[in-house]
A = this chain, B = another copy of it.
């Protein structure tokens, strides 16, 4: 996991905006991830208390849906900010960024 500051892609477009798409909503994403962490802990507790399998599965489905919401949000923010900014200011970087976003979508769909 490379920190954004040192990402090779960004150096080629030093002229465009440095912040990530999700930054304006950072607190909301942090709160959502906190809740997701709590859901994971809750599922571990259900296993530990030997609760009914189907009830545990229902909670795993809820957690998966919450994660998908986060993924769609991040992707949306990324495309509307990073990718479009790149397209406006650095067409070459935009192609690379779009390819990268496409691969992230494919990876997520297969996860």
> What residues of chain A have their CB less than 8 Å away from a CB belonging to chain B?
1-4, 7, 19-23, 26, 29-30, 33-34, 36-37, 40-41, 43-44, 46-65, 67-68, 70-72, 74-80, 82-84, 87-88, 91, 94-95, 98-102, 104-111
Contacts and interface: CB of A to CB of B under 8 A. Distances in A.
This chain's copy number in the assembly: 4
A107 to B, nearest CB: 5
A62 B21 CA distance: 21
Given A33-B47, A37-B44, A57 B108 contact: yes
Contact of A51 (B1, B48, B50, B110): B1
Contacts of A104: 54, 57-58, 61
